Amino acid sequence: MKTRAALIYQAPSPWLIEEVDLDEPKAGEVMVKMVATGLCHSDDHPTRSDALVVRERPYCAGHEGGAIVVQVGPGVTTLQEGDHILTPFIPACGYCRWCASGDQQLCDHGRLYAASAQVDGTYRMHHNGNDVGTAALLGTFAEYQVLDERSCVKIDKDLPLDVVCLLSCGVPTGWGGAVHGGEIKPGDVVICMGVGGVGINSVQGAAHCGAAHVIAVDPVEFKRTESLKLGATEAFSNMEEATEFARSITNGQGADSTMITTDVIRSEYVGQAFTSIRKGGTVVITAQGNYGSGMPINLFEISMYQKRIQGNLSGMVSPRRSIPQLIDLYRSGPLKLDELVTRRYKFDDLNQGFTDMLAGINLRGVVVFDS
């Protein structure tokens, strides 16, 4: 069938909304009608090659989706037509070492944000005769898409898809970075460096763990103001002031943990975060950097001060565990989601959504299809 999808053929490039051909779902796959998709910074990197370089072209990104199943392929057992689903960016094969040991976010079938084929190596979307690679086996920047059932998490139909779509990436990633990566304890002092669509959820997660101080750092005033509404206790425009404040309330020790959720990670950000933590403290790196970049950290301090640097993928929890858990916290109140959606866009205004993200005027922008 014909549908419309946002593609890039090269970088730098804006998203081009094109008519594409979409195949029928194969065994174990479903066709979905996309209802909404959040605009995560990870979808912007490939358009400018600042952290992710997409080698295959054309490429359809988008991974923070909420959709409705419209067709079920042969052998699908977990989904039916009409089901509402979210699209975590790592599938759950159930059999690899990682899935088998409860770390589904590291599933060997994950393709992260690369322009990939489906798990069987073939493509479902085509443009002018070219196979379209999709981000993370998904490609939610499309009106219809064919997905592996292992990439879909079924949710209740009463949940607003234009809000809970954020549970496909930004919310569990930020929340889990704090809760699981930072292992935050009641009374902790936590710095959240970069409070955009992901980092604001590290703020929420840290507050939920009982941190005494959740110190938000962002150069954008709007982000600082919003973070104070969602759990931050203090907000600063730079790491120097935040670190000075953390030391001033800890007898000079520094923060228990610092989350890095900046737009792109730069090596000096790791250095700043490493300096900001106390002995035995933890830096959690969530933001994406280039393959070639390294970290300027003090090699004496890492062993003699027993400091820890922890990478965070997708909140360090299997999406099939984190999504239902976070839905419960949304329904019962501690997790705010509606407040995270600053602006909604038509699909045709996708580029405007990214322009606004880069201008710092959204906590999260969401594309609502058919709006």
Ligand X SMILES: NC(=O)c1ccc[n+]([C@@H]2O[C@H](COP(=O)([O-])OP(=O)(O)OC[C@H]3O[C@@H](n4cnc5c(N)ncnc54)[C@H](O)[C@@H]3O)[C@@H](O)[C@H]2O)c1
Contact footprint for Zn ion (CB under 5 A) = 40, 42, 93, 96, 99, 107, 169
Residue 195 interacts with ligand X (CB under 6 A): yes or no: yes
Closer residue to ligand X in complex, CB, 42/140: 42
Tell me how far, at minimum, the Cβ of 172 lies from ligand X, in Å.
Answer: 9
Which of 70, 93, 119, 220 lies at the binding interface for ligand X (CB under 6 A)?
A: 220
* CA–CA dist 290, 219 (Å, integer): 22
Phi first, then psi, for residue 36 (nearest 5°) are -155, 155
Tell me how far, at minimum, the Cβ of 262 lies from ligand X, in Å.
Answer: 4
The site partner of 93 among Zn ion, ligand X, none (C-beta below 5 to 8 Å per kind) is Zn ion
Residue 286 interacts with ligand X (CB under 6 A): yes or no: yes
Residue 353 interacts with ligand X (CB under 6 A): yes or no: no
Residue 42 interacts with ligand X (CB under 6 A): yes or no: yes
Which of 162, 218, 226, 234 lies at the binding interface for ligand X (CB under 6 A)?
A: 218
- Residues in 147-176 at the binding interface with ligand X, rule: CB under 6 A: 169-170, 173
The site partner of 179 among ligand X, Zn ion, none (C-beta below 5 to 8 Å per kind) is none
Residue 47 interacts with ligand X (CB under 6 A): yes or no: no
Using the contact rule CB under 6 A, the part of the chain among 3-11, 79-87, 256-264, 323-331 near ligand X is 256-264
Tell me how far, at minimum, the Cβ of 94 lies from Zn ion, in Å.
Answer: 6
Report which residue's Cβ sits closest to ligand X: 196
Tell me how far, at minimum, the Cβ of 69 lies from ligand X, in Å.
Answer: 25
Residues in the site for ligand X, rule: CB under 6 A?
A: 40-42, 45, 169-170, 173, 193-199, 217-220, 223, 261-264, 269, 286-288, 312-314, 357, 360
